[in-house]
Structure 1
Amino acid sequence: MLFTVDDASPVALAEQIAGQVRGALARGEIAAGERLPPARDLAAALGVNMHTVLRAYATLRDEGLIDLRRGRGAVVSGQVSAERIRLTELARAFVAEARRLGLGDDDITAMLKEVRP
């Protein structure tokens, strides 16, 4: 998997990295059990601080997409579904657009509650 970052992007570097992992999972380019590059190596390759990569990995861990273990590194979780990843990406895009329009958490939550299938 090839990682890239755009320093000119308004999206934080850690989120760019996490987004690339999410996208690769959704496209089936990486699968459960595969290891992601060590944070130190990826940071050096991208020219970013190692803590930026660790922040991206922590986000992915919190989302249940990867497991982080000392000495074992970052491993794609066995519970990953492409549908869930796609839904998460859509939710992120929705929240980002809502924030851009000045909506707060309560407004966003109310809007979601109004939506009916």
Structure 2
Amino acid sequence: MIKISAFLTRRADLTHEQFVDYWTQKHTPLVLSLPGGEVPVRRHVQLLPTEDGIPGISTAAYDGVAEVWVDDIADAARWFTSDTYTTTVAEDEEKFLDRSQTRFLYTTETPIFG
């Protein structure tokens, strides 16, 4: 299983609140409405930053993180090059993301506890 973490930055003309509203209220329903089966996505979660902080420890300056689990990197590649992603999802991302600032991390998990 591969977990993809996409670190997201909003468009410069949007506030963080406008970014969150669009991502959660418009983009998410769009993604959920797409026909499944093109690529088996095992899990998809959105992570939104809190206002919390710890003195002396810097925090990342991202507006959110999308995590997507797929069986392998080939499935990830199929998803990001699919017609559905390139014509529908990516087009909608332009409405709230600065896609040039999006960073991806491809990982496997090694549980330590819990």
TM bracket (short chain)? under 0.3
Compare the two structures and name the one with the higher strand fraction: 2
Compare the two structures and name the one with the higher helix fraction: 1
Q: Greater relative contact order: 1 or 2 (C-alpha under 8 angstroms, separation 6 or more)?
A: 2
